[in-house]
Amino acid sequence: MKITLTLTVLIGLMHAPAFAQTTLGASVKHADLQRDAIAIQPIPMPGTAPEMPNVIAFGPGARCPCGNIDAKTGCTNSLGVGASLQAEGSTKVRKDDLKLTVMDLPPGALTTLVMGSHPITNRFGDGMLLVGNGGRFATITDSLVRFPVARADRAGIIAFGPGLSERSVKLFEERDQIKPGSVWFFQALYRDPAGPCGTGMNATNGLAVSFE
Element (H, E) at 110: strand 110-116
One pLDDT digit (tens) per residue for the chain, 212 residues? 434 434 443 444 333 333 223 333 333 444 455 444 445 667 766 555 556 778 888 999 889 999 999 988 999 999 999 999 999 999 999 999 999 999 999 999 999 999 998 888 889 999 999 988 765 554 555 578 999 999 999 999 999 989 999 999 999 988 889 999 888 999 999 999 999 999 999 999 999 998 99
Cα atoms in the Cβ-side hemisphere of radius 13 Å centred on 52 = 24
Q: By residue range, what is the domain housing residue 139?
A: 2-210
Q: Determine the longest span between alpha carbons in the chain, in angstroms.
A: 47
Distance between CA atoms of residues 83 and 68, nearest Å? 12
Structural domains counted in the chain: 1
